[in-house]
Structure 1
């Protein structure tokens, strides 16, 4: 007896998530080559993730903020500690520039912590990764280079009482400084850690208040007032905003750059960062001034692409500044 004909074979297909894990680069390429280009997340090439900012969550610190960019979540805590001028081995002279005091004395100390289980690559208990150390250095460099914090806000002054009417009035002198420790902890990480960390830093500094500190000449110590009414808000001299862009290219060792396709992607997530070999970060402030441009890897981005990134960053500044406290 002849066997029954076999039923029509069904086509083999995979869900989107499986396709994205097995072949991440072709998966992203399949989305970008559409007209108009669309990313797997549904965002356009120039679309940033909308930040969600919450401040004042950590009551034990002098300032705090929680920032979320998509699935990237960062917590920043600002804690002030007092550094007595007498404890400085080589204190700055009277002619020292105030703008150089912050970096010379190390009054701003950021530290990025990724070993929190924020991703599979950063498990709890691991030593500080290269990425964490790089982020700490970049945040520190931008804090000092952009002169965000007013140095006078961190100085604790003392004026000796006038004893003799014939003598000149005593000159105020710096007896101590506030040192701000910025602990930046990632709760979850889904791409673009620098922009998220910097936004958390700015939001935390914007809400930082320090108690009124005065020098007690009798005990030769700094005394802080416990009254909340005596707390003063930190004065920020600038509000820089960073915007990171990744470059996806089909160029290979067998294909010339002139024959390859390339796209510049704003605010990349982890799946996009993993398949992009070039990145550009633009730093700008509210006066339409570009404070810096950082570029890593690749040779695809040219002057035209950089100019477009700058224009997008200036627009991004307006959006982010309106959300900051």
Structure 2
């Protein structure tokens, strides 16, 4: 008498099925988790990923920082160069932030020139740093009309898992705090600027702040710190920037409009998160 046995699916089989379903039906996959009040990575809606900040990791830069936000990792280096100021702003230096999203950080990015996403994020980072007044550009003046400092704040994402803006802004602020400039002297007779190798001084940052990003699904579910899987499925992407005193600096919203109640809820969460991130700096 022959007998037959039924093999139960293994955990590996279940995981493979879940991965296939996630690829074929990402929105439904996410909605099933949302219905259970959890997210695919196990977090609750208002839970943030762990963040770590390390400064001074690039010895050849004038300032540097490495930030890990979950699995998103960004390294930032600040390089100072001497330049001539603009004619209409003779006493102001330059702050030039930039973000690179290379192909090595995620399969979604291809080799070649900067992607549109990287350019948009760089523009937003520039707006956040320059318009917020984090650093007085007049403090970068060496000699009015002749010589000023240009600070190139270059960031590279070495692993991408969503929310690159928050991670990059945090890395840039940490790198600027870590930056020191050599004492520079302009000689009017020779028209040259000389720098001391021994005497260096830190930047005087005038404002401390942090950004917090959210994704809104179906106008009712607000997800803090969205991952790379969650980001493209959101109906609304919202970023809130507040300073260390809890004052609102700016909001940036893309997608269909959200209610005033949801916006105020996000601002309240952002203030709590900003105080947590400031302690890391």
Report if TM-score (shorter chain) is over 0.5.
yes
- Tell me if the contact between 2:182 and 2:201 (Cα under 8 Å) persists in the aligned partners: yes
1:48 is matched with: 48
CA shift at 1:4, angstroms?
Answer: 6.9
1:18 is matched with: 20
Equivalent position to 1:213, from 184, 192, 205: 184
Distance 1:277 1:194 in 2: 18
Distance 1:9 1:57, change over 3 A: closer
2:136 is matched with: 150
Distance 2:20 2:208 in 1: 41
- Tell me if the contact between 1:156 and 1:174 (Cα under 8 Å) persists in the aligned partners: no
SS in 2 for 1:212: strand
Moved more, 269-278 or 181-190: 269-278
Q: Which has the higher strand share?
A: 2
> What whole-Å deviation, never above 9, does each CA across 1:21-47 have from its counterpart, x for those lacking one?
23222221111112xx11111111111
What is the TM-score when the length of structure 1 is the normalising length? Answer: 0.79
Q: 1:50-65 residue pairs with structure 2 within 5 A?
A: 50-65=50-65
Distance 2:7 2:103 in 1: 48
Verify: 1:188 aligned to 2:188, yes or no.
no
Distance 1:216 1:38, change over 3 A: same
1:129 is matched with: 115
Distance 1:92 1:274, change over 3 A: closer
- Tell me if the contact between 1:245 and 1:281 (Cα under 8 Å) persists in the aligned partners: yes
1:243 is matched with: 212
Structure 2 unaligned runs (5+)? none
1:114 is matched with: 101
- Tell me if the contact between 1:211 and 1:225 (Cα under 8 Å) persists in the aligned partners: yes
Distance 2:207 2:184 in 1: 25
Structure number with bigger Rg: 1
Distance 2:280 2:21 in 1: 37
Q: 1:257-296 residue pairs with structure 2 within 5 A?
A: 262-296=220-254
What is the TM-score when the length of structure 2 is the normalising length? Answer: 0.91
Moved more, 5-14 or 237-246: 5-14
Equivalent residues, number: 277
CA shift at 1:82, angstroms?
Answer: 0.3
- Tell me if the contact between 1:282 and 1:293 (Cα under 8 Å) persists in the aligned partners: yes
- Tell me if the contact between 2:95 and 2:137 (Cα under 8 Å) persists in the aligned partners: no
SS in 1 for 2:105: coil
Distance 2:6 2:207 in 1: 68
Distance 2:224 2:72 in 1: 15
Distance 1:201 1:175 in 2: 27
- Tell me if the contact between 1:116 and 1:186 (Cα under 8 Å) persists in the aligned partners: no
Verify: 1:28 aligned to 2:30, yes or no.
yes
Distance 1:11 1:217, change over 3 A: closer
Once superposed, what is the RMSD of the aligned Cα atoms?
Answer: 2.1
> What whole-Å deviation, never above 9, does each CA across 1:53-107 have from its counterpart, x for those lacking one?
111111111111111111111111110100135xx4x3436xxxx7xx45xxxx1
Structure 1 unaligned runs (5+)? 158-172, 250-260
